[in-house]
Amino acid sequence: MKTKYTIISSLALGILVFSCKAQHSSIIADDALLVKVDSTYSFTEGPASDKDGNVYFTDQPNDKIIKWHANDNSLSIFKEPSGRANGLYFDHDGNLLAAADENNELWRIDSNGNVDTLLTSFEDKKLNGPNDIWVDLKGGIYFTDPYYQREYWTRTKAEISEKNVYYISPDGKEVSIIASGFVQPNGIIGTPDGKTLYVADIGDKKTYAYTIQPNGTLTGKKLFTNMGSDGMTIDNKGNIYLTGDGVTVFNKKGEQIHHIPINENWTANITFGGKDQNILFITAMGAIYTLKMNVKGVRY
């Protein structure tokens, strides 16, 4: 189901606002507005919300991490250069994890912007290019590692032929391939109870659900939907949000329940932010959008 949007106000504040009628769906707030907060970037990606509801996102071509301030809708540069960061996620200590694509690394960034490089290779081979990240209840880190050739790389092929999902143990001492057999794994998100992990294989136009075992390993691979995704998120009702052609929402059974069209050629990623975690924050091409929801994001 697609929702129609109409421009109702705008340019005096430099913000485009669209009316949103949530037809036959209760996930979007009544009379919600799809707000284009800014469109001055080259390609936005990787939104991640901190404990106060502020959202950090990347402008990878311009090598920046930007902070959206939830209290006043303002924007500021958090880190520049940013290692060509792509996907982001906060760990349980408030550090920002970043898929630092420039040198195919995984970074941990503290609140002052100081970087600790967590990982740059696996079994003495350079990672393909960490893309998206999720942190489990114990602090273990899952990340997807597809291969997208970048113009700023000197190499022209992957050292690791497989495109895998990896897991870093909570103590940071062990790194393992946790799932494999993908064409191009990309979006990743887990349920708040820590029992299910969703992985999108955008290269094969499929999204899978796995059962998370106590030691972090995955079992019971099941097809969730015949749709891949760039980035993804989850709400407190267990609905899964996939991106690409706007935002497509599925319930936990894998049934599509809503579609949010975005007037951009590509919608890359999505998260929940705001003080009450009820603001859907969307990155699409060179723009960022917000939409007020009836559902909320989940925090540990």
Report which residue type is found at 70.
Answer: A
Q: Give the confidence band of 18 by pLDDT, cuts at 50, 70, 90.
A: low
Quote the CA–CA distance of 10 and 53 in Å, as a whole number. Answer: 25
Q: Would you state the pLDDT for residue 193?
A: 95
- Nearest to 166, CA basis, from 248, 106, 222: 106
Tokens of 3: 């929702």
The string of pLDDT tens digits covering residues 173-185 is 999 999 999 999 9
* Contact by Cβ (8 Å): 131, 123: no
pTM: 0.93
Tell whether the model's pLDDT for residue 79 goes beyond 90.
yes
pLDDT of residue 13: 37
Q: How confident is the model over 232-260, as a mean pLDDT? A: 97
Residue 22 pLDDT: 42
Whether residue 273 is predicted with pLDDT greater than 70 in this model: the reply is yes
Contact 221, 198 (CB under 8 A): no
Q: What counts of helices (H) and strands (E) characterise the chain?
A: 0, 28
The residues that bridge with 168 in the sheet, in sequence order, are 141, 175
What is the structure's pLDDT at 154?
92
| Nearest residue to 97 via CA among 50, 52, 62 | 50
The confidence score (pLDDT) of residue 17 equals 54
pLDDT tens per residue, range 191-216: 999 999 999 999 999 999 999 999 99
For the residues 221-236, what does the mean pLDDT come to?
Answer: 98
Query: Which is higher by pLDDT, 242 or 4?
Result: 242
Average confidence (pLDDT) over 133-144 = 98
Query: What is the Cβ-side half-sphere exposure of residue 268, based on CA atoms within 13 angstroms?
Result: 21
Q: 128's torsion region: left (phi>0), alpha (psi -120 to 50) or beta?
A: alpha
Would you tell me how many other CB atoms lie within 10 Å of the CB of residue 149? 10
Place of tokens 């291969």: 147
Q: Any idea what the Cα angle at residue 223 is, between residues 220 and 224, rounded to 5°?
A: 110
CATH number of 5-292: 2.120.10.30
